[in-house]
Each structure stands twice: as C-alpha cells, then as structure tokens.
Structure 1
Amino acid sequence: MLPFSRFKMYFARSSACFKHAGRCFLNTNNGPTYPPVKFNIKPDYKCLFDTPVHIKVEGLRPKQQVIFRATLTDEKQVKFVSSADFEVDDRGVLDLAQSAALGGDYSGVHPMGFMWAMKAQSDLGRLIRKDITSPFKVLLSVHDKTSCEKDARPLASCIHERGFLGDGVRRIPVREGRIRAILFLPPGEGPFPGVLELGGTAGGMLESRACLLANHGFATLCLAYFSYDDLPKRLLDLHLEYFEEALQYFQNVPQVRKGGVGIMGISKGADLALSMASFLPGVRAVVSVNGCNANLQCPLHYGELTLQGLGLDAERIVIRESGVLNVRHCYHDPRAPENAACLIPIERASARFLFVIAQDDQVWDAEVYARQAEEQLLSHGRSRPEILLLPGAGHLLEPPYFPSCSASFHKFVGTSVEWGGAPVSHSAAQEKYWQRIREFFLENLGGAGPSKL
C-alpha cells in the first residue's frame, strides 16, 4: 500500500488532471465524459514542405483556453518552437483556419503560423535542411492554459512530417567534368521545363528550393560553385566557363525540354544568373531573387573578358548593439562611372527577366538595382522586366512556411548579419513569390509534356 502522504499527493495530482485534461472530469461510471482529444490534419499528417495543411483539434471543452505548440529539431540539434494562445469554439474544436491566435508568437488567423513563426531556441538560428531525403518531424501539441502543473502532459499531440523529395522525384548527384551539382527529375519521361538554381555566398549545396520545384513538374539542377566537394573553398574569383559547362550539360539531359532553360539565382547567385543570360546561349528566363545588376564581391572571368567585383565601403557598416552587422548602405553604386567594369551587360541577353525584391532587405537595396536593370534594358530597346515588390520581406526568401530569419551567422562574412523581414509580412511574401516564379517559368519555358517549341 502507498503511505498516506504519498497517497494524498497522488490524489491531488490526479484530481488536477481530471479537472483540466478536457477528456474526463469525474472518475465514475456515470459522470460526464468527453470524446478523446485528437488532431485532424488534412490533406494528411505527411506533406511536402511548401504545402499548406488544415489543422483541427477536436474533443476539447467549449471555450477552453489552450496553448498550441509546434516543435522541431534541426540537423544541428537546435530546437525551433512556436507557441500561441487560443480559445476553443462552442463545439470544442480548435480550427487553425478559423480560430484567431490571442497572443504568443503570432496573433490573428494564420493557419500556417505554427510553422513560419517558429524561433530557434539558440540565438540567431536559421532553419536549413541539407538532407532533403528525409522530412522534418514537427511535434504538435495542445496544452490547457490553466493547468496547475507547468510540466503537465499535453491534452493531445502528434507528429506532423514536412518533406522535400516527393513521390517519384529522382535525385541524381552530378560529377561530370568539373560540374558538382544535384539533378532533380519529376516522375515520368518528360520533357520538363528546366530550371538551373544558384545559391548565394553561403556556398555549398542547399537543395531544398530545387527539390521543391521538381515536385511542381520542373527538371532542376542545383549547381554548387564553391565550398563544396572539391570546388574552391573560398569565393576569390569565378570563371563563367564552369557555368557554361553546367548549362550545356543540363540542356542535354533527355528529360529537359529543348529550346532553352530558366535560371533562378538567389543573392550572389542572382548576378551570376544575369551574367549567364548575358553571355551564354540557351537561357530563356531568369529569376533574380534579391540580387544586384553588377557582378559582386569577386572577379568573374570569361575568356579574355573580366567583370570586376563590385566593392563596398567598410566604414558604412553599422554594428548593432547585439553585434550583428548591417551592410545595407555599404555597396558602391553599380552605375557610377568608376564601376563600369562591374556592370553586367544584360542588354545582350535574349531572356525574359523577373526581379523578386524584398523591400525590407537589409543586405542591400535590391529595388534600386532592379530599377537600374530595367532602365538599362529599356534604353537598349529590350523588353521591360517584371519587378515583383514584396513589402516587409527580408533578404532570406525561402519556400513557403520556412520560419523568417531576421539575422543569422554568415560564414562568408565570419559574423552575424542582419537580413531584415517581419514574420507575418515575410511569410506572406514567401507564398507570393514562390507562386509567381513557377508561373513565370511556365509562361516562358512551357509546361510539362511534349514540347511545342
């Protein structure tokens, strides 16, 4: 038998649980009962990362005050958590598509707020997925806000998986000549519209964007150009011949639609995309995401031609009280006469251009660069580019539902850098730009199926 003191403690804790658990209030055969608290996730508990889901929690008490929490652990074992307060409706249902968060990490009706509002439990964390062959596992849980025990068990919990590699999508590592890349092919024989993707000065190989695009019917080539495998470790200078070799390889993939491919560049990758379109044949569409109209940071060589790297004024770097650097106003003006050797001659390109601009970008004023590129094209009789403005968004535009990251460590700089972006507006921008780039590539490259080019 239990000693009397332990029996009293056990009884008190059990009573509290019956009072607040929302499942059963009296431990008798004829007392009031409630159905089990359970999650209902549509279309499924497992989905691709850029897919929205509709989440309900059923079996709660009407008007119950609860906390909805989401937790995932990244590849570095850093926890990302979001938490928001809700009041359950009259039916005992918490419906994230209809219920307004009353506080916490987000407020208002945001069905996917549990994902994009996540914050790293360590300072300045950015959520990155390097191994796209396995999903993120997100622990969802609902807790009684009035529970008398801080560590009380949740009313209900479940594992929600958000993956990257869709059914039937093929991931093919590429080591052809100097090329170091990952090729993604959608299910089927194709041909598919082809998109070559270039990342920024973080270097290495981040496959998530290219992989998710492949799920939407694009053949994609995620191309590394430094700090990966046996490529140069540092970004000291680049040769366009490397990108030319990759472009030719990609165009010759049997599943890639003939007649030209698209290129999507992020940050430093954006000006490389402009250079490829300006000097290399076979580029029909370019998406520049928060990029510059000049060659940045290091020289770009092509035969006897060299584009110098646009520099910056280190004295204009702002150091925040936290030690984070802000470099938004540091870069030299690409249109100044002394920087003529840095400016990319995009008027030579036959591609259509889409400039995606985050208006709270704290790395540089990408809208100024896009307007300069627009003027440059129009002054040479070229077509007006499309400029997609995204208010309140920061430099690090990811596919939808990645948490916004206003600052994080940047290994190229060697310290933490401010990116900008407010969570709500940045999240809306990620959904808008992700939809538009897919439409843009389809408009200019054609859809899946037999080529009509």
Structure 2
Amino acid sequence: MASCPVVLRARGLSRWARCQAGPSLLRPAGQASWVPARMETTVTLEPAGRSLWDEPVRIRAWGLSPGQRVTLRASLRDEKDALFRAHARYCADAGGRLDLARSPALGGSFAGLEPMGLLWALEPEKPMLRLVKRDVQKPFVVELEVLDGHDPEPGHPLGRAVHERHFLGPGVRREPVRAGRVRGTLFLPPGPGPFPGIVDIFGAGGGLLEYRASLLAGKGFAVLALAYYHYEDLPKGMDSLHLEYFEEAVDYLLKYPQVKGPGVGLLGISKGGDLCLSMASFLKNITATAIINGSLVNVGGALHYKGMTLPPAPVNPSRFKVTKDGFVDIVDVLNCPLKEEDQKSIIPVERTESALLFLVGQDDHNWKSEFYAREISKRLEACGKKLEVICYPDTGHYIEPPYFPMCRASLHSLVGKPVIWGGEAKAHAKAQEDAWKQIQTFFRKYLGGT
C-alpha cells in the first residue's frame, strides 16, 4: 500500500481561541482590537488513503493548541448500513500535536496507549450485531473526526479524514469455485506459485465468508474459502453433513496447478473447527490443522463418512442462563466433563497424522474450548502425538483477524436466540493480533511458503 500520509484539513476556531476571542470583541469605541487567527488542524493516517484491514495505521493530528482537549471519533457502516462507532478522549502535547502511537487515551470506548483502539473498540449502534465483511471486493470506509473538547458534549469538528480498509491485497486474485459439488472462492497470491494451500471454514452461520481467506492469501497462501450449507445449491440446513464433500474440496485444491502439495492446511473456527478436526482425523493429505475455539465432539448435526456416522453431541437446554441484559449464556449446555452419552459424538483425533494448533479464548461462552483442548491433548499424548495449544485470557469465542471489534452478543443460528460470546474488548483485541501471527507461523512451518 502507499506510504505517503493523507491530509485533510478543517478550519475553525480552537477551544482556546474562542474563549479568548469573545471579550476582545466588546471593546470601547476607537480602541484597537486583536482577534486570534483561525486554527488549522491537520489529520493524517499512514498508510495514506487506504490499507489492508489487518494492517495497523498511524493516526496523528497537529495544529491544535498546547494541551488542548479533543475527542477522536471513528465510524463505519457495514454493507447492510448498520453503524459502528468508537470514541476516545485525548490531550494534545505542548506542541499542539497528537500521535495515537504515543498519546494515551483518557477514556471513552477505551483507555491507555492503544494506537488501533478506534477500530477494535467499534460498537454497533444497534445491539446484537457482529461486524462481518461480506463483499471483499469493496473496502470498509472508516471516517475519523477530531472534535473540540471532551464528553459529555465535545464541540465542533476540528479535522476529518476518510480511510479505506481493504481485504484484497495488491495482486491477490479472487476466483469463484463451482467444481463438482464444491462451492466456495479461491484466493491466490500474486505471482506464478506454486503456493501452499489452505481450506478455510467458518462456523454454524452458514453461507460463504471470504474475508479471512482473502487476507491470508496476501500472506503467500492459496486459500479456499469453503461454504458447506445455506449457500446456492448446497443443503439449506446442517442436520446432516457428509465428509465426502469436504474431501472433494481438499482434492480440488491439491489438483489446482498453482497449489503445491503433498498436503494442505485447514483453518476453522467454532463449528468449522470441529469439521476441520474431523477432516484431519478421517481424510488423507491433511498436513496442518489450525482450529480456533473448536470442540472435541461433533455438534449441530450428524456427520457421515463412508458408512460411519458421528451423531451430534446431546444438548441440555435446561442449562441455558439468561443474563441481566436479556441475552442467553449457552456455555454449559454441552457436557463438560464428557459423559457416556457423548461417546458416540467424540471425534477420533487419535487417527490424525496432521500437525495440530488450537487457539483458545479462555472466556469463550459458546462452549468450553479450553476443556476440549485439554481433552484432545490427553488423547494425543496417549498415542505419542502432540497438540500445540495457545490460550488467551479474557478472550471470547470469535477470534478474528486483527482489528475486527469483539462481538459481545448476536443471534446464534442454531439456538435461535441472541447469545453472549464472552471476552473483554482490549484483551480480545490483543489476542486477535497474536493469533493471526501464530496462524501464519504455523502454516509456514508445516506447509512452507514465505
């Protein structure tokens, strides 16, 4: 991306200038007067104008009064026109400058030194919404404003900048996939390849989400974002899934001319995580599997493969808990520890030959991801195999690429009600930055690539 700063200016009296200007206008007749010049506030973001969503940006402002109190406000609208906002209070330095990499926030949506806080702290204007990118060919447009003063009523705008946050890096190619039964989108890095291949699978919401795959392709991987239900001519529900479909997707990726073998990687979150664990346990040519808040048991619907069936783990609705905000907490609806009734739903991880990485949010309220990671570790150690586990304190269920805001609560497609996902916003944001690096390091280690 370009590296020159974008500069937008807004003219207006500073808070200090307005305070000083008032009395000087009430002068005796014939007496000379002096009115301060209008202050000019310059706002810059680097990289300029546009950047990739998972890239940090540097936000600065100058032309303020020494020590001037200002409020910075960020906003964006998703593709359904839902508004997300964040704000933080700051004070300019002695030179009238503000640099979010050096200036701590004094409160607002977050506090402390958080250069990217205005993005990861975005919250929906309406509750129960999760920020999701549906069309990666178009950017999110972030508007940044510098307002005079602090809460409860910051004053007029002093400066404004608009920044595009993209999901397709320079030279990344997007190719829709309609091959046999396979439905998805393949993202290829720039250049001739061949590239290490990864199949990317999301959770129980269904449809096709491409934003994680598109960003990962910019890191040198050929990534197939795979749909598996509620998309085009695929099944409308997930009551009955067949592993042969996922096997066909792996074969498609391995046969693609710009994908190198001999195996592929798998990346899954939530329900996509237990699907990836099942793929790694039953299918061939799986070299590395990274799972974000997955489970050891098959959930949601029956999984079939060559005459074998894993029934869904039993759910106990009586363990639903309602929070004071009226949301549902479902963390206890599955059995932890596992009981006799769960045995037929356990994924036989002992069969896998794949390297395994588990990323765990320790405040996951979808289910007890840390418990499942421990159980999988025990089973693998018993047969001389290892599982790499990275746990993140105060981190919830949806561990996304960096700078996506934490989703506090949203509608659960299987529960049919709004549920809480867990996590504390600042800790969750830090976890996402680290997890994104860990995923890339893991796949480079086992799949190759640069």
Q: Same fold (TM over 0.5)?
A: yes
Equivalent in the alignment of 1:294 = 297
State the shift of 1:311 in Å: 1.6
State the shift of 1:279 in Å: 1.1
> What one-letter code is carried by the residue in structure 1 that aligns with 2:271?
K
After superposition, where does 1:25-44 map in structure 2 within 5 Å? 32-33=36-37, 36-44=40-48
1:353 and 2:348 correspond: no
> Structure 1 residue aligned with 2:137, among 123, 133, 136?
133
| TM-score, normalising length: structure 1 | 0.91
CA contact 1:79–1:120 (8 Å) conserved in 2: yes
Change (3 A) 1:140 1:304: same
1:116 and 2:120 correspond: yes
1:171 and 2:156 correspond: no
> Structure 2 residue aligned with 1:404, among 406, 414, 417?
406
Cα deviation, 1:378-403, whole Å, max 9, x if unaligned, reads 11122x11000011110011111011
Equivalent in the alignment of 1:18 = 13
Equivalent in the alignment of 2:332 = 329
Change (3 A) 1:68 1:232: same
Equivalent in the alignment of 2:227 = 224
Count of matched residue positions in the alignment of Structure 1 and Structure 2: 431
State the shift of 1:215 in Å: 0.9
Determine the C-alpha separation between the residues in 1 that align with 2:442 and 2:378.
21
Determine the C-alpha separation between the residues in 2 that align with 1:225 and 1:248.
16
CA contact 1:334–1:340 (8 Å) conserved in 2: no
CA contact 1:195–1:219 (8 Å) conserved in 2: yes
Change (3 A) 1:225 1:19: closer
SS at match of 2:284: coil
State the shift of 1:167 in Å: 1.3
Equivalent in the alignment of 2:440 = 438
SS at match of 2:345: coil
SS at match of 2:118: helix
Determine the C-alpha separation between the residues in 1 that align with 2:346 and 2:154.
59
State the shift of 1:31 in Å: 5.8
Determine the C-alpha separation between the residues in 2 that align with 1:191 and 1:51.
25
| TM-score, normalising length: structure 2 | 0.91
Cα deviation, 1:42-96, whole Å, max 9, x if unaligned, reads 2323100000011111111110000000010111111101011111101111110
After superposition, where does 1:388-399 map in structure 2 within 5 Å? 388-399=390-401
Any unmatched runs of 5+ in structure 2? 1-11, 26-31
SS at match of 1:341: helix
Determine the C-alpha separation between the residues in 2 that align with 1:213 and 1:23.
49
Equivalent in the alignment of 2:415 = 413
CA contact 1:310–1:334 (8 Å) conserved in 2: no
CA contact 1:37–1:60 (8 Å) conserved in 2: yes
Change (3 A) 1:158 1:304: same
Determine the C-alpha separation between the residues in 2 that align with 1:61 and 1:409.
46
> Structure 2 residue aligned with 1:55, among 37, 47, 59?
59
Moved more, 323-332 or 37-46: 37-46
Equivalent in the alignment of 2:29 = none
RMSD: 2.2
State the shift of 1:32 in Å: 4.8
Equivalent in the alignment of 1:370 = 373
After superposition, where does 1:171-210 map in structure 2 within 5 Å? 171-210=174-213
Determine the C-alpha separation between the residues in 1 that align with 2:34 and 2:151.
25
> Structure 2 residue aligned with 1:104, among 102, 105, 108?
108
Change (3 A) 1:195 1:147: closer
Equivalent in the alignment of 1:8 = none
> What one-letter code is carried by the residue in structure 2 that aligns with 1:271?
D
Change (3 A) 1:69 1:95: same
Determine the C-alpha separation between the residues in 1 that align with 2:150 and 2:325.
36
SS at match of 1:89: coil
SS at match of 1:323: coil
Q: When you count strand as a share of all residues, which structure comes out higher?
A: 2
CA contact 2:358–2:373 (8 Å) conserved in 1: yes
Equivalent in the alignment of 1:311 = 314
State the shift of 1:293 in Å: 1.0
CA contact 1:22–1:37 (8 Å) conserved in 2: no
1:269 and 2:264 correspond: no
> What one-letter code is carried by the residue in structure 2 that aligns with 1:118?
L
Any unmatched runs of 5+ in structure 1? 1-16, 449-453
Cα deviation, 1:415-447, whole Å, max 9, x if unaligned, reads 101100111000000001011010000001001
> What one-letter code is carried by the residue in structure 2 that aligns with 1:70?
A
Change (3 A) 1:114 1:376: same
> Structure 2 residue aligned with 1:154, among 151, 154, 157?
157
> Structure 1 residue aligned with 2:90, among 86, 91, 113?
86
Equivalent in the alignment of 1:145 = 149
Change (3 A) 1:105 1:333: closer
SS at match of 2:277: helix
After superposition, where does 1:248-287 map in structure 2 within 5 Å? 248-287=251-290
